[in-house]
A and B are shown apart, each in its own frame.
Chain A
Amino acid sequence: MSAVSRPVVALLVSLTIYCAVLGPFTAYMKQKPIEEKLGYLPSINVLRYASADHKELVGASLVMKVIMYFGGIAEKQQANVIVQPPDYKGMSGMLHGAVKLDPYNMDAYYFAQSFLTWEVKQYKLANDLLDYGMKYRTWDWMLPFFAGFNSAYFIKDYKKASEYYKRAGELSGSDLSKLLAGRYMQESGQTDLAITYLSAMEKGERNPAVKKNYQTRLTAFQEVRRIELARDSFLASGGTLPVSVDNLVRSGLLSPPPADPYGGQFYLEANGKVATTSKFAFAGAKKATTQNAGETR
């Protein structure tokens, strides 16, 4: 075999083996459980020193990792594929790490706000993170806007919410924050507050998975609002609260019947408050279904 043909043969053999391995290898990587893909985050102090003068890049890559991980799970959930719920603790840890490396990274605050509140119910943690961001992003109206919503809707601290919304209004010059500051600082306006907030978030969102998440939640809250309006009409005409959502449908006040986009069933609590078996989460609906199946057995 000549000196030239030997490397050619070696190359051809290597390419053939490579092509043979590539298919199974790609399939293996694709089938890898999504839960593994968030990975492990080393100590942020180590990362801060190791990233040298690329802290912003490392911060951005941590945020991207979390977004990709969540996007993968959200798509599967929306396609009714059974997956483990996202590792919210891990996601939160990574985003907190990202803002330690780059305290100006807006994606980290924005994404943390979207799941720390609705999904994990860590309202104080969310507002602490937003307060931290406000120290750096002094020009940004969105951070006080988010913190104001959390204070008003979740924490029910209306005084603090007014302060945040006032700041957001001053920074943005927009009417939305001023509107929220004045109109919704009361218990009765909570659903409207959520609808206004979610509409604004959904409108400005570009990431398909996160947008779909907002759309689903918005639809759910619009349904809740319809039920609330029907309930109030029922109370005004009859003087008593309806006993169930079916009661409202049968009386003709609620048409068409409400549908929970998370797959749950709406019901009325004893005080007339609208609730759903899904608890506004796909995981909640599945859990409720399993429990019901267990009860019937």
Chain B
Amino acid sequence: MLSIVTITLKGIFRDRIFQGIMVLSVLFIFIPSVASLSMRQVTELSTTLSLSLISFIMLLLAIFLGATSIWKDIERRYTFSVLSLPVSRSTYLVGRFLGIAIFMLIAALFLGSAAIVSIKIASLTYPPARPLLWSAIITSIVFDALKYIIVVAVAMTLATVSTSFFLPVFGAISTFLAGTVTQQVYDYLQTPSAQAAVSVVVRKSALVLYYLLPNLSGFDLKVHAIYAIPLNTQGLLLSAVYFLIYIGIVLSVGALLFARREMK
């Protein structure tokens, strides 16, 4: 397993993806200047822009690494040589996933450091109305990484059954978009107006989707980081447990599907 993780990481670095991230991180330099256009919340806008940039880069990484990893291996017939070794398909899948997940965390660490420098510069030039809550900023970046690791797991699971990269790529994008709104839809359906306007069938279907799709809203802590709002420790703990269990379920399904896949 460890060797698959190492090979995955080496492969990602060999593809010069990290260099690409380093080039994109140049954008952090411009954030304090752009944020200075704000009238009353320069530091807050710097934090918003920094966290959104991290989020955007991580989304691209999650979709393309998660969706193409397994598909590329099958396409190039690497899987035949790897699976001829005493390695089970499940170990191969989990090893690949862990390699990408570790890379996502390394990317978050690098991008997070650049963001912290950018936010610090903005806060020194235009001190915020409330002191910055660094713990919330760091936690927000970590939970952002966890969110995109879930997207990686979904993309990889879809790749185990797909014969092209369209399903994992578009499936992951759709899951991400749906996962960010399921909580809002759920909240809406609980309101009296929705109870009256929406049919029972639609409400039940939405409820099934709510439990089936990943709830990514729990990992979005940007508002806490931007406006220095204290975090709820119990909520964070629950989100972390949710992350572990959801990843476990998705990868188990992926391993089951991959085990049954015919490879010619």
* A54:B55 contact, CB within 8 angstroms: yes
Residues of B within 8 A of A56 (CB): 48, 51-52, 222-223, 226
B202 at the interface (CB under 8 A from A): no
- Indicate which residue in B37, B55, B130, B222 contacts A139 across the interface (CB closer than 8 Å): B130
Determine which residue in A53, A110, A139 has the highest number of CB atoms from chain B within 10 A of its CB, and name it: A53
A52 at the interface (CB under 8 A from B): yes
Given A49-B181, A60-B45, A139-B130: A210 in contact with B55 (beta carbons within 8 A): no
Place the interface of chain A in its size category. 20 to 34
B: which residues have CB within 8 A of A? 37-41, 44-45, 48-49, 51-52, 55-56, 129-130, 147, 176-177, 180-181, 184, 216-217, 220, 222-223, 226-227
* A104:B223 contact, CB within 8 angstroms: yes
Q: Which 10 A-B pairs have the closest CB atoms?
A: A57-B52, A52-B180, A106-B40, A53-B220, A104-B227, A56-B48, A110-B40, A106-B41, A207-B39, A49-B181
For residue B188, which residue of chain A has the nearest CB? A45
For residue B37, which residue of chain A has the nearest CB? A64
Q: With A and B bound together, what is the CA distance between A67 and B40 in angstroms?
A: 12
A205 at the interface (CB under 8 A from B): yes
Q: Give chain A nearest CB distance to B36 CB in angstroms.
A: 8
- Indicate which residue in B48, B129, B176 contacts A57 across the interface (CB closer than 8 Å): B48
Q: Give chain A nearest CB distance to B128 CB in angstroms.
A: 10
Residues of chain A in range 7-60 having any CB-CB distance to chain B below 8 Å:
48-49, 52-54, 56-57, 60
For residue B180, which residue of chain A has the nearest CB? A52
* B39:A53 contact, CB within 8 angstroms: no
Given A57-B48, A104-B226, A104-B227: A52 in contact with B41 (beta carbons within 8 A): no
For residue B225, which residue of chain A has the nearest CB? A56
A115 at the interface (CB under 8 A from B): no
Residues of B within 8 A of A110 (CB): 39-40
Residues of A within 8 A of B227 (CB): 104, 137
Q: Give chain B nearest CB distance to A67 CB in angstroms.
A: 7
* B44:A106 contact, CB within 8 angstroms: yes
Q: Give chain A nearest CB distance to B174 CB in angstroms.
A: 12
Residues of B within 8 A of A89 (CB): none
Residues of B within 8 A of A139 (CB): 130
Residues of A within 8 A of B217 (CB): 53
* B180:A53 contact, CB within 8 angstroms: yes
A246 at the interface (CB under 8 A from B): no
- Indicate which residue in A48, A111, A137, A207 contacts B184 across the interface (CB closer than 8 Å): A48
